[in-house]
Structure 1
Amino acid sequence: MTAHLVVQFGERIPELPRDPTLVDLLNGSAGSNLETLAHLLHGHVPVDEIQAPAAAVEYARRLAQRGTPPSALLRAYRLGQQLILRWANDEIARRVADPALALQTSHLLTETSFQYVDAVSEDVMSAYQTERERWLANRSAVQRETVEALVRGDRLDLAATETALGYRLRQHHLGLVLWTAGAETGLADSERLLARLGQRLGAAGHPLFVPRDRDTAWAWLPIGRSAEVDTAAIAEVLASDADGIRVAIGTPEAGEPGFRATHLGAAAAHGVVQLGQLDAPVVSYAEPSVRAAAMLAGDLGATRRMVARTLGDLAHDTDAAARMRETLLAFVEDRESYVATAARLHLHKNTVKYRVDRAIEARGKPIGEERLDLELALVACRWLGPEVLRAGAGVG
């Protein structure tokens, strides 16, 4: 019966591991469960003292370590009960001539098997959950220490590092920082969103997800041999499934050095969003203005002074000044084309000209004077906001 059950489990529950070690443990679990059930049927063990056999508990723990869905374990118990009752009823029909006795025997077997499965499945599921929590906590600690060493640039054994992370370093990576606004299920939601992003981008394996605190996580998507990432696809997923989660993205990089570089880009983009108190669902380090803002955030004192000196009255934290800065930055980036700027901002060309003229007047200098400082100052205001602006009325 044990051999029959193990074969059926393997054929009908594909989530159960097939490697020899786990199959041996499954044999032990099935056999010990049958033996304990037999003791119960013989009256050797009272119903209220039923406990899961040690082999069954150990098998549940191993499944927890492998990340096998708990539903697969419960299904094995339900399927096992079905197969045992089918065999037993066939034996009753063959051996018991008295219909009343046959019915009574079948009823006894059915009731006893339900009592057994109810009690034992509760034990093994408790063992599974306890082991899963312990295993994840330990693995999370190891992963976090390993990731921090990689980000610091420590020299590590590549094979041992990949084993500790459960993630392959010899490929291209896309680093991400995911964070929420304090939702209780924030990390779980972020991990699910990461999985959806991986599926949408055709990731070459399982993502690496490392919680940093209750709201924030570092993550890496394995993108195989390709250094190309469809940012439009990322935006689509976030627009439909983000549910309050914000994402900062690095640039695709290769190998162990790339693992660090793509994370540093994502972390820098995250820092820009946090400093600027922006509510954008996604920000990418691939955007040149984000990279510039990240460097400008490295010395906020110098950046504030540059913004004040370069922008004059445009450096005030008002809605009117913000509109003029936005229009002037687009105008500079579009090579001082009123038509292109109007198309980008969805404004009339005359509105663009009016705002640009007012911005130049508020600045007190023509666009060509200190042009590089002008563009950097406008980028700093766009991304870093109140951190580099001056309070006060300014331009109206």
Structure 2
Amino acid sequence: MGEPDVEAAARDALRSFATVMGQRAEMLTELLVARSTELIAELPHDPGLVDLLAGSVGSNLETLTHLLRGHVPVDDVRAPAAAVEYARRLAQRGTPPGALLRAYRLGQQLVLAWAGDEIAGRVRDPRTALRTSQLLTETSFAYIDAVSEDVMGAYQGERERWLAHRSATRREVVEALLRGERRDAAHVEAALGYRLAQHHLGLLLWDDEATVAAAGAPEEAIARIVAHLGAGTPLVVPHDRGTWWAWLPVDAGADPRGLDLPAGSSLRVAAGRVAHGLDGLLATHRSAVATQRVAQVGQVPPGRLVSAADPTVRAAALLVGDLPATRALVADALGPLAADGDAAARLRETLLVFVQERESHVATAARLHLHRNTVKYRVDRAVALRGRPLAEDRLDLELALIACRHLAPAVLT
């Protein structure tokens, strides 16, 4: 046979093979479903979803059969309704999209392997058999390309709708609780998908740039904090375009202090105090909100985490409630030491640590990584600028230094 005869014979053989595939569709469907659920652990294994997977596989095989017979041009191929519905259900379950794509690749691999044996046994001429296999491979790739685009589009669209609906439901429940509307704990847990009888760390993440690109920004930051604390699966509730609320299941002594976000992050994070149970869920959120106010007034730069686990932050959260009174306190307790500038800031920070370390030059030097003589010089200079000894109005002095640490420049003279 000449080459045109080989091509024609191969196309005839492909149509004949398509008929056989249609006759074996039930067997192939069972094989593909069994292998997919065995090899792709992420796919749901409950009976309802397995039945839907079988419907998706069977309808895909039927559509591919029509394509191989030449009943429909490849440009007109669309994903079967059962395949689209299966993709949507996976999106609702939170199944990774890669598992869906892998199922299609695995299905194509198994069909081609089975087809190779069938073609070899039915087509005697080697060149015709080879060309038939090539045509099958080309057609199946074109089919998978067209259908996978449809099912992934359905997956993404459903995932976005599902997440938006779930986020709205969670936000509604949380806001009702914050308003003081008491609800049954079991109802709250079911609505939030989050266990209440544990210790919680409330987080408040925000992005002042509020760009569209920031929509997925908190995921990496929260994952970093979860890993740092060894926390469980978090509850995340988008509050508005640039603000997210989150709760992390943690140990009672969890402390996120000292953790910053990746370089270049435009997010800021306020962490509350760890608390337990339903009341704790609300309490840790409220302390995160108070901490955010401190960070905003103090103009904390992007990429920073401010935590209510720091006692000075908790004190600043009280002081920020009445800034005029706090400014007056700072001016009265510190005098010229309350000036806005780097030199005065260094003196204030050294003096605050010195007070916290019970006026120990050695302990202050160790904590600030300074020489003892440097600490002594700075403390003496700070006291001289203040114009009063440390023992005078000691409480006002410490509160004023805390205010300057966290609320500058809003409270400086």
- Check whether TM > 0.5: yes
Matches within 5 A, 1:52-131: 52-131=79-158
Moved more, 144-153 or 62-71: 144-153
- Quote the residue 2:40 is aligned against: 13
Q: Is the aligned partner of 1:150 residue 2:177?
A: yes
1:197 aligns with 2:225: yes
- Are 1:168 and 2:191 counterparts? no
Q: What does residue 3 of structure 1 align with? A: 30
Q: What is the CA distance between 1:185 and its match in structure 2?
A: 4.0
8 Å contact 2:354–2:364 — kept in the other structure? yes
SS in 1 for 2:392: coil
Q: 1:346 to 1:51 in 2, by over 3 A?
A: closer
Residues 387 and 91 of structure 1: is their aligned pair in 2 closer, same or farther, counting only changes over 3 Å? Answer: same
How big is the shift at 1:103? 2.9
Structure 2 counterpart of 1:393? none
CA deviation profile, 1:100-144 (whole Å, cap 9, x unmatched): 443343233222222211111111111111111111122222222
Match of 2:410 in 1: 387
Residue matched to 2:216: 188
In the alignment of these two chains, the number of paired residues is 384
CA separation of 1:388 and 1:200: change in aligned 2, threshold 3 A: closer
Distance, in Å, in 2 between the alignment partners of 1:172 and 1:84 is 51
What code does the residue aligned with 1:250 have?
G
- Deviations, residues 318-346 of structure 1 (Å, cap 9, x unaligned): 33332322222222212222333233333
Give the CA deviation at 1:242: 7.7
Quick one: distance in 1 between partners of 2:148 and 2:368?
62
Helix, strand or coil for the counterpart of 2:408? helix
Q: Render the CA deviation track for 1:153-180: whole Å, top value 9, x for unaligned.
A: 3212322222222222221111112234
1:50-71 Cα offsets, whole Å, 9 max, x none, are: 1111000100111111111111
Q: Which amino acid in structure 2 is aligned with residue 193 of structure 1?
A: A
Of 109-118 and 51-60, more deviation after overlay is shown by 109-118
Distance 2:340 2:172 in 1: 42
CA deviations on 1:237-258 (whole Å, 9 max, x unpaired) are x366784543322222111111
Counterpart AA for 2:292: H
Structure 2 residue runs of 5 or longer lacking an equivalent are 1-27
- Which amino acid letter does the alignment assign opposite residue 31 of structure 2? H
Q: Deviations over 1:333-368 (max 9, x none)?
A: 122223332333333434433333333333233222
1:360 pairs, out of 383, 386, 401, with: 383
Q: Conserved in 2, the CA contact under 8 Å of 1:175 and 1:221?
A: yes
1:337–1:228 Cα change, 3 Å:
closer
Matched, 1:274 2:309: no
Give the direction of change, closer, same or farther, for the CA distance of 1:373–1:112 in structure 2 (3 Å limit): same
* 1:187 Cα offset (Å): 4.3
Structure 2 residue 327 is the aligned partner of structure 1 residue 304: yes
* Aligned residues of 2:225 and 2:256 also touching (Cα < 8 A): no
Q: How does 1:287-302 map to 2 (within 5 A)?
A: 287-302=310-325
Write the distance in 2 (CA, Å) between the matches of 1:338 and 1:48: 80
2: CA distance between counterparts of 1:150 and 1:256?
9
In the alignment, residue 179 of structure 2 is paired with which amino acid?
R
1:219-230 mapped onto 2 (5 Å cutoff): 219-223=246-250, 226-229=251-254
SS state of the match for residue 162, structure 1? helix
Task: Give the 3-state SS of the residue equivalent to 1:387 in structure 2.
Answer: coil
Mapped to 1, the partners of 2:396 and 2:114 lie a distance apart of: 84
CA distance in 1, matches of 2:95, 2:400: 53
Could you tell me how far apart the structure 2 residues matched to 1:239 and 1:61 are? 34
Identical residues among aligned pairs (%): 64
Residue 84 of structure 1 and its aligned partner are, at CA, apart by: 1.2
Q: 1:83 to 1:365 in 2, by over 3 A?
A: same
Contact kept, 8 Å, 1:169 with 1:256, in 2: the verdict is: yes
Q: Of the candidates 248, 260, 268, which is equivalent to residue 282 of structure 2? A: 260
Take 2:377 and 2:77, find their aligned partners in 1: how far apart are those partners? 84
What's 1:370 paired with?
Answer: 393
Comparing 355-364 and 305-314, the one that deviates more: 355-364
Q: Which whole-Å CA distance do the structure 2 matches of 1:288 and 1:384 have between them? A: 14
TM-score, normalised to structure 1's length? 0.90
Unaligned residue ranges in structure 1 (runs of 5+) = 391-396
CA distance in 2 between partners of 1:378 and 1:106 (Å):
80
1:246 equivalent in structure 2: 268
